Amino acid sequence: MSDRTWKVLRYIVLPLNTIALIVLVIWAIEGGRVPFIAGGGPGAAAPGGASASASTQFYALDGALIGAAKGSGPRIGEPAPEFTLQDINGKVVRLSDFRGRPVLINFWATWCPPCRKEFPQLVRSYDQGNGSFVVLGVDIRESLNDVRPFVKQYKATYPILMDDTGEVVRAYRLTGVPSSYFIDAQGILRDEYFGPLSGSKIDSRIAALRAGGSG
């Protein structure tokens, strides 16, 4: 390599690559697209002091398909894994309790910025649905002291369930939050979405469930 070529690489190409990398990292962090490091196992610290299982180490890659789309979780077209959890008031809730209506299961946490952005839209869509479909908000291993004030702030009336042990997270092979699963009236998983949902995304997917297809 000639001295001139080396100088071009050293003083022009390498600095430009470094700047591009810095810009990419800033973009990813601001968009919530970067994995947080869970410290090597269940119960490790997550952003905001929350705890997380090893299977919940990534969040907010808007629009990317997860789980069944990669063959690493519940399969689309098959029954959604049944679960039983308590809501924030201590009531026992089972997924099968809502058989006969479309169900949107939304995995979330208060420490997750995209989840916080998405939450008001979930509340609006559920309220506007007038009972035509169900939203189940599954909080991931947080304390009631963190979850209750947040839910009260946005006046959410759909069930907020506490996955204290991470059992449901494991059953759904979750790779990050927010993650949403769309289940038809017969309990069959029809669609899934990774990232914050907009009102139009919710509407189109619920309409597809009613029509017997996926969004």
Match 């390498």 to its residue by tokens.
14
CATH number of residue 166's parent domain: 3.40.30.10
Exposure pattern of 13-23 as b/e (b: 16+ CB <10 Å)?
eeeeeeeeeee
| Cα–Cα distance measured from residue 31 to residue 194, given in angstroms and rounded to the nearest whole number | 14
Asked, for residue 101, whether it belongs to a domain, the answer is yes
163 in any annotated domain: yes
Output 152 or 4, whichever has higher pLDDT: 152
pLDDT band of residue 77 (cuts 50, 70, 90) is very high
What is the domain range of residue 199? Answer: 55-211
Evaluate whether residue 168 is within a structural domain.
Answer: yes
195 domain-assigned = yes
The answer to the question of residue 91 being in a domain is yes
Does residue 36 form part of some domain?
no
Asked if residue 37 is part of any domain, the answer here is: no
Number of compact structural domains in the chain: 1
With respect to residue 23, please indicate whether it lies within any of the assigned structural domains.
no
**Which pLDDT score is estimated for 44?**
31
* Per-residue 3-state assignment (H helix, E strand, C coil) for 69-102: HHCCCCCCCCECCCCEEEECCCCEEEHHHHCCCC
pLDDT at residue 36 greater than cutoff 60: no
164 HSE (CA, 13 A, CB side) = 8
DSSP-H helix ranges across the chain: 3-8, 14-30, 113-129, 144-153, 167-171, 199-211
